[in-house]
């Protein structure tokens, strides 16, 4: 009974394996939020450590960890099921914690008060595309909260803020497309799900201001690339 999810996902499809976006069945060729962030050199994730076989293995494991935990969250939110992902012990431990967090979120934003929790929402905007990890939305209160799941050891709070700001713009575009009006953003939060670093935090105003400036920089770069 996910009403808002149905509306917001209408006409949009993402192919999980290739990360290709489709609008009404037609492939959309626009950069993703992560590609956009890479336009700012100081935010590019340095993967030079992966030039050695050991480094490559670390990177592969990190990518798998991210995929598995995002899938666990998606399964839990969409189907209320909790499956195991693989044999890696640390994934099990992180899974337990992540599910505890998601459960807490479902209690804090109850369906009975009009909240709907949406996982992996793909959106297509004028300039770029992206998939939001978590959206908590309330059509009665006209409020929403954006959540992101991170599985990396490193906390890159500025980069994280930039990402959610870009997602929020995309979501606002989507609201217009489906004729949702008057919705107000309540907050941005991040679930940091890593063995070394398990925490939930809200993105503060100062970091958001900085992220907005960086967003403008990115949009300017994007414009200049088109000319
Ligand atoms: Zn796993």
Question: Whole-prediction pTM value?
Answer: 0.92
Q: Determine, yes or no, domain membership for 93.
A: yes
Residue-number span of the structural domain to which 52 is assigned: 29-226
Residues near ion ligand 1 (CB < 5 Å) are 68, 85-86, 88, 91
Total number of domains in the chain: 1
Whether the CB-CB separation of 129 and 21 falls below 8 Å is answered with yes
Query: Is residue 56 very low, low, confident or very high in pLDDT (cuts 50, 70, 90)?
Result: very high
Q: Is the dihedral of CA 56, 57, 62, 66 positive or negative?
A: positive
Q: Determine, yes or no, domain membership for 18.
A: no
The domain that holds 211 is classified in CATH as 3.90.320
Residue 40: which residues within 8 A CB-CB, separation 6 or more? Answer: 162, 214, 217, 218, 221
Residue 171 CA, ligand 1 centroid: distance in Å: 30
Q: Determine, yes or no, domain membership for 22.
A: no
pLDDT value, residue 1: 61
Residue 19 CA, ligand 1 centroid: distance in Å: 20
Q: Determine, yes or no, domain membership for 6.
A: no
Residue 94 CA, ligand 1 centroid: distance in Å: 9
Q: Determine, yes or no, domain membership for 171.
A: yes
Residue 66 CA, ligand 1 centroid: distance in Å: 9
Q: Determine, yes or no, domain membership for 73.
A: yes
As given in the structure block, the two tokens for residue 42 are 């100081």
Q: Determine, yes or no, domain membership for 114.
A: yes
Whether the CB-CB separation of 46 and 156 falls below 8 Å is answered with no
What are the pLDDT digits (tens) for 143-189? 999 999 999 887 889 999 999 999 999 999 999 999 999 999 999 99
Can you list the pairs that 205-208 forms with residues at least 24 positions away whose Cβ atoms lie under 8 Å? 207/157, 207/158, 207/161, 208/161, 208/165
Buried b (16+ CB within 10 A) or exposed e, 66-75: bebbbebbeb
Query: Is residue 49 very low, low, confident or very high in pLDDT (cuts 50, 70, 90)?
Result: confident
What are the pLDDT digits (tens) for 104-130? 999 999 999 999 999 999 999 999 999
Residue 64 CA, ligand 1 centroid: distance in Å: 7
pLDDT value, residue 41: 87
Q: Determine, yes or no, domain membership for 9.
A: no
């Amino acid at each position: 009974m996910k009403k808002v999810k149905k509306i917001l996902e209408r006409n949009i499809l993402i192919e999980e394996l290739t990360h290709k976006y489709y609008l009404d069945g037609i492939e959309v060729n626009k950069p993703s939020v992560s590609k956009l962030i890479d336009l700012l050199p100081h935010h590019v994730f340095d993967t030079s450590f992966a030039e050695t076989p050991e480094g490559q293995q670390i990177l592969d494991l990190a990518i798998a960890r991210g995929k598995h935990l995002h899938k666990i969250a998606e399964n839990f939110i969409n189907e209320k099921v909790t499956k195991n992902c693989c044999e890696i012990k640390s994934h099990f431990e992180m899974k337990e914690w992540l599910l505890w967090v998601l459960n807490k979120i479902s209690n804090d934003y109850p369906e009975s008060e009009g909240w709907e929790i949406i996982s992996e929402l793909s959106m297509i905007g004028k300039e770029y595309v992206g998939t939001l990890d978590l959206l908590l939305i309330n059509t009665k209160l006209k409020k929403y909260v954006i959540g992101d799941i991170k599985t990396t050891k490193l906390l890159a709070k500025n980069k994280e803020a930039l990402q959610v700001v870009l997602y929020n713009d995309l979501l606002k575009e989507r609201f217009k497309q489906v004729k949702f009006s008057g919705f107000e953003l309540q907050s941005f939060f991040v679930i940091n799900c890593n063995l070394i670093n398990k925490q939930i935090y809200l993105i503060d105003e100062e970091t958001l201001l900085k992220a907005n400036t960086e967003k403008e920089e990115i949009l300017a770069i994007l414009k200049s690339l088109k000319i």
